[in-house]
Amino acid sequence: MTDADLLARLSSDRADGMEALLRQYGPLLRYVIGGVLRDGPDAEDCLSEVSLALWQKLDSYDPSKGGLSAWLTAVARNTALNHWKALHRRDTHTSEAEASAPDTPEQAVLRRERAEQLKAAIARLGERDKQLFYRKYYYLQSTAQIAAEMGMTERAAEGRLYRLRQRLRQELGGDDA
């Protein structure tokens, strides 16, 4: 079933369309969630959250901005990341307010500048390093998963990630620690 067929089905019968969407893109959602949440039950809980988020946000999907799979990836990744943060807060006994204090306007500007710098630095990376970066910092995959999927040993992946991190730290003007 093509994305256009899926979207048409979702607009005509949302429940039926949602079932078809989860059938088609379930493996993708599980893959993205599995990178962030390595515990099986947590990942299953998160999949339910993602399903709910999709149900709620489906109207905000704009096909002109990107493919359906890209949008689903972004929703799954961000939901999984929030889920992980919530688990982390629970483990460290911190409140949501403590963990995510809102940025001041100056901090927001700095953060945007930093994001632009990072984008430029990533653009300068080779294809393999770029993939390594996205796997580590976007998909939040474990080193073991990255190594296996990229046909490397864990040790080699760790070494390459270390060098990549050092390079980015230098390019972004951070300390060399």
Partner 1 sequence: MREWDAFDQELAESMTELPPEAVRAVTPWRTAIDRIVLGLCLTCFTLNFACLQYILPAIGTVNLYLGFRALRNNNRWFQFGFICSICKVILLSINLVLNATPYADIFPVSRTILQAAATFLLFLSLREALRRAAAELGRTSRRDPALWAMVWYLVILFLGLAWPEPGWLVWGAVMIAFVRIIRSLTKAAAELDDWGYAVHAAPVKISSARFQGLLYSSLLVVILLCSFFFGHIRLSGTPIRQTLDSPEAASTRDRLLDLGFPREMLDYLPPEELEKLAGASACVFRPNDSDQRHDMEMDGHPFTASGTMVYLGDGTARFYVLAEYDDAISLYWQNLAEFRDSGVTRWDGACYLTYQKGGVTHRTTVPVTEQMETLDNYFTGPFEETRIRARYSFPAGAKERTCLFVCSLQLSELDLSAPDAYYNHNCIVNFYRDRSPLRYPYQPFAGSGRSRDLAQYCQFFEFQLSDSGTPAD
Among 89, 130, 158, 171, binds partner 1 (CB under 8 A): 130
Euclidean distance between CA atoms 162 and 41, whole angstroms? 31
* Cβ nearer to partner 1, comparing 7 with 28: 28
Name residues contacting partner 1, limited to 12-31 (CB under 8 A).
23-25, 27-28, 30-31
Q: CB under 8 Å to 68, separation ≥6 — which residues?
A: 3, 6, 7, 25, 61
* Cβ nearer to partner 1, comparing 53 with 148: 148
Tokens representing 164 are: 């990549």
Crossing angle of helices 14-36 and 3-12, in 10° steps, is 120
Do 172 and 122 meet the contact criterion of CB atoms below 8 Å apart? no
* Cβ nearer to partner 1, comparing 14 with 81: 81
Choose the binding region for partner 1 from 4-12, 41-49, 50-58, 144-152 (rule: CB under 8 A): 144-152
Of 76, 62, 75, the closest CA to residue 32 belongs to 76
Among 4, 52, 70, 120, binds partner 1 (CB under 8 A): 70
3-class DSSP string for 74-100: HHHHHHHHHHHHHHHHHHHCCCHHHHC
Q: CB under 8 Å to 145, separation ≥6 — which residues?
A: 35, 135
Among 111, 120, 162, 170, binds partner 1 (CB under 8 A): 111
**Is there binding between residue 153 and partner 1 (CB under 8 A)?**
yes
Among 3, 45, 129, 154, binds partner 1 (CB under 8 A): 154
DSSP 38: -
* Cβ nearer to partner 1, comparing 45 with 78: 78
| Residues of the shown chain interacting with partner 1 in the complex, contacts defined by CB under 8 A | 23-25, 27-28, 30-32, 36, 66-67, 69-71, 73-74, 78, 81, 84, 111, 114-115, 118, 130-131, 134-135, 137-140, 144-145, 147-149, 151-154, 156, 165, 168-169, 174
